[in-house]
Amino acid sequence: MTTTSQVVHSLLHELNTPLTVLVSAGAILKNKVPGPLVGSVERLDEVSRQLSQEAVALRANLPDQIDLNSPDMAAQQLRELATGWQQYTIRLSATLDEIQAAEVKLPDSLLDKILNQSLLSGLSTLKNILHRLETIQPQDLMKDEG
């Protein structure tokens, strides 16, 4: 039987992956996009870093913020956190809509892929994980192995 603690740690690790994509993309694209996109990329970088910092702080203080001994409480606390974190996905979505609406193609193919594919993929993955956390139930935190 997998423990609640193991499942919560795994879920938070999953959350880290799209956040790393978004934070890294923001850092890479800063000062490498044309003028009209500078503000959008700066907002993307700021918002993704804020959410990443919250997730890191949660992992650093996990036992203080999530009751790992009670699947019922842990599920409720994760749902509340995910609901609060949706503000970030709303802001990130709006920012990515601005970037996509500009229809910019960067001359460097790697930067263009980051701008026009990686950001969207990272946000989509982030939304999926947050949706899972928003709907998590106690039984989801007590998985059978095998």
For the stretch 77-123, pLDDT in tens is 999 999 999 999 999 999 999 999 999 999 999 999 999 999 999 99
- Looking at the whole model, is its pTM more than 0.85? yes
Residues of the chain with pLDDT > 70: what percent?
Answer: 96
Task: Supply the pLDDT for residue 145.
Answer: 46
Rounded mean pLDDT, 57-80: 96
DSSP three-state, residue 99: helix
Rounded mean pLDDT, 35-61: 96
Q: What is the CATH number of domain 4-135?
A: 1.20.120
Average pLDDT along the chain: 94
Q: Where are the domains of the chain?
A: 4-135
Tell me the C-alpha to C-alpha distance, in Å, between residue 44 and each of 23, 40, 69, 82, 134: 8, 6, 36, 19, 23
